[in-house]
Amino acid sequence: MTSEPLHLSRGGTSVVLDPHPHGLPTIAYWGPDLGDMGPDELRGITAAHQPQRVSGGIDVPALLTLLPLESTGWQGTPGLTGDRGGARLYPRFTVTSMERQPGGDGALVEARDDAAGLTVRARLGLTAAGLFTQSLELTNTGDDDYEVRALNLFFPLRHTATEILDTTGRHLRERSPQRHDLTTGTYSRTSRRGRPGADATVLLAAGTSGFGFEHGLVQGIHLAWSGNQQVLAEKTPAGSVFLAAGEVLAPREVVLAPGESYSTPPAVGSWGQGLNELSGRFHRDLRARATHPRRPRPVTLNTWEAVYFALDLPRLLALADRAASLGVERFVLDDGWFRGRRDDTTSLGDWYVDETVWPDGLAPIIDHVRSLGMEFGLWFEPEMVNPDSDLARAHPDWILQAEGRLPLPGRQQQVLNLGNPDAYAYILDRLDDILTSNDIAYVKWDHNRDLLEAADARTGRAAVHRHVAALYRLLDELRRRHPGLEIESCASGGARVDLGILARTDRVWTSDCIDPIERLVNQKYTGLVVPPELLGMHIGGPVSHSTGRAHTLPFRAATAIFGHFGIEWDISDLTEAEYEVLGRYVGLHRSWRDDLHRGSVVHAECPDPAMDLRGIISEDRRRALFGYSLTASSASYPPGPLTFPGLDPDALYEVRPAVPEEGHPGNGQSPLAWLQLALEGRPVRLSGRSLAQAGLQAPVLVPEQSLLIEFRAVGA
């Protein structure tokens, strides 16, 4: 065991761990890389941050440790709460080991309290992208049961942090940003929905006042867990400022028998000079995973908003023909294909192909789709059951429920208890059979309701933790049995977007709302953690099914172009003009796809909230595609210049509209000079430095209109 501070450094990030005399180590520093430091400087850093004893306080000043506890003088949010039948409430751990892990970018800390009968193991790491990861494992070494009520993970903030950013929302409007002052006290976001929920924040961030995407030191955390959870920001009167995260546990949900352990979900921290840099760390880290999708993300057509439950084979065949002719690469059959399913009130759980609709099985539609060169995908909602189903009638005890009664319904459905081995085995068998019997490359995995009274019918015990753990096992097993299968996580749209589910899936459906105005916000803030190739972005129909707003096809397409691109629209009766425009955008996406799904995402800070400017810059910074949108009437008429962050300052770029066929967008009464020159084949040439500082005059757009602009370095 080392009694000296440890300096972890990787990916532009430093973490300094300092041994604590009365508990687990403190994180003396987390933030920008401190460079090479010798032992003397390390000791100096930790000594420089030791607080003084003050009047009215504890004689040993409390510090924020990896596991802050009352036994070490801590009086803020505790790291661990639990007991043995009401006793052993206040453990005090003694560190037995604090070692740097091989490679130098991680640490393992072990501690014990023999009187309390507990050991704890803390794992800390820095990824190549500079993300800071933490997890804790608590083991019961005593002779009787120990109930874990909470086990949280803590990330210290810089004392310059004075403002919080998180997101809220609802179904059809997930991840709307909100800001708060970071003041003394606790700001907490808690989900007890059995999934993160449509109102969950994908990131809790804190930084200097007014931080944005391009400026201000900001730190943020994410909990990689698909169940009940809490993230919080706290400032104590003693000057500690931190973020924390942990699973929310119901009473008696985690009770450790002697020898048993509980492990927290991992929490992940990032930082940046602006949210673009913070977000880029998450994106680079996810792209470095061995399981990350490597091949180009197939352009997808999903049938839901095209046909809903009207699964008529000739209509579907015609839809597939039309999709393939436009360059679509994946055709996904949504809800309604299984036994007895005619609407959303019945048959969830009866996962057999409906013989009355598909007398020859799914082969006719699958074979046709495959003959057109497209992959075939299929919708499931495996965790749910309709009370009006053969499954529910045969096995009512498989449904999550308390006190012998069903919870209030949601979307006319209840939730299967995957923690029940029989229910788990049934779902695994049915999905495995359908995937084995058919040529299915992709599963859209839906989850359409929050959990209420989620208890195991056999024991009455809270079951969310076991259900989520079983879900993870189920997804892992299906992927093991079907190598190459891709899975989308959909949950009433974007109600389950987290790195726990994304460790086992290949994309998320960001929202059931495809209205481009709503999607601009939703995709921007979901993208704080999730890179664009994992974000389902589809072109909806001319009139949004969720908001009733009408938008032009170019605006709808420009909003969807940057992510995992697709179509959610009945395209069987397109006009010739619509067909030509839609095909143009499918082609544009495919031509830029490698850069869009490997490059750096940037959001520019515009002076007018009606303006939105976002882009993706290729890995070598020789190419970039930006989208400029006007979401409402602008306060400036004409608007001022747009500046473009992230380009190579020393490169010289030619600037063109990405879709020159659209000519001059907007309602300006004279041509825009740089745009006119590009249309004449004489594009302006500007350095990345000029584009970032002086910029380009923005076009006069009408509200709800976009212009896609491409930048190509001379000689690229």
**Residues designated catalytic:** 446, 512
Strands across the sheet with 185-191, in order? 153-156, 241-247, 229-235, 185-191
What is the Cα–Cα distance from 353 to 43, expressed in whole angstroms?
67
| Residue at token pair 């930048």 | 711
Amino acid (1-letter code) at residue 49: H
As a whole number of angstroms, the distance between CA 534 and CA 330 comes to 15
DSSP 8-class letter at 25: E
- Give me 691's structure tokens: 């584009």
Between CA 443 and CA 435 the distance in angstroms is 9
What's the distance, CA 249 to chain centroid?
22
Direct distance between the N- and C-terminal alpha carbons of the chain, in angstroms, rounded to an integer: 54
Measuring CA to CA, which residue among 636, 204, 610, 226 is closest to residue 451? Answer: 226
236: three-class secondary structure by DSSP: coil
Strand-by-strand arrangement of the 146-151 sheet: 80-83, 146-151, 254-256
Distance CA 42, CA 18 (A): 9
Q: Quick one: how far is CA 93 from the chain centroid?
A: 35
Pairing between β-strand 118-126 and β-strand 261-263 as defined by DSSP bridges: unpaired
Distance in angstroms (rounded) separating the CA atoms of residues 484 and 261? 33
User: Which is it for strands 132-140 and 23-32: parallel, antiparallel or unpaired?
Assistant: unpaired
Under 8 Å between Cβ of 386 and 347? yes
Q: Are 269 and 176 in contact (CB under 8 A)?
A: no
The structure tokens listed for 604 are: 């520019």
- Give a three-class secondary structure readout of 544-564: CCCCCCECCHHHHHHHHCCCE
Rounded to the nearest 5 degrees, what angle is found at the Cα of 553, between the Cα atoms of 552 and 555?
A: 70
- Report the alpha-carbon distance of residue 560 to residue 563 in Å, rounded: 6
CB burial of 306-345 (b: ≥16 within 10 Å; e: otherwise) equals bbeeebeeeebeebbebbbebebbbbbbbbbbbbbbeebe
CA distances from 518 to 515, 521, 522, 526 (A): 5, 6, 6, 12
What is the SS3 assignment for 103? coil
DSSP string, 43-89: HHHHHHTPPPP-TTS-SS----BSS--GGGT--SS-SEEEEBTTB--
CA nearest neighbour of 534 among 596, 492, 626:
596
Measure the CA–CA gap between 284 and 274, rounded to whole angstroms: 16
- Cα–Cα distance, 488 to 175 (Å, whole number): 19
For residues 279 and 270, what is the distance between their CA atoms, to the nearest angstrom? Answer: 8
3-state helix/strand/coil string of 283-306: HHHHHCCCCCCCCCCCCEEECHHH
CA distances (Å), origin 646, targets 284, 602, 642, 693, 714: 15, 7, 13, 11, 17
Identify residue 6 by its one-letter amino acid code. L
DSSP summary character for residue 410: B
Backbone torsion region of residue 373, taken as left when φ is above 0, otherwise alpha when ψ lies between -120 and 50, otherwise beta: left
Torsion of CA 601, 605, 611, 615, to 10 degrees: -20
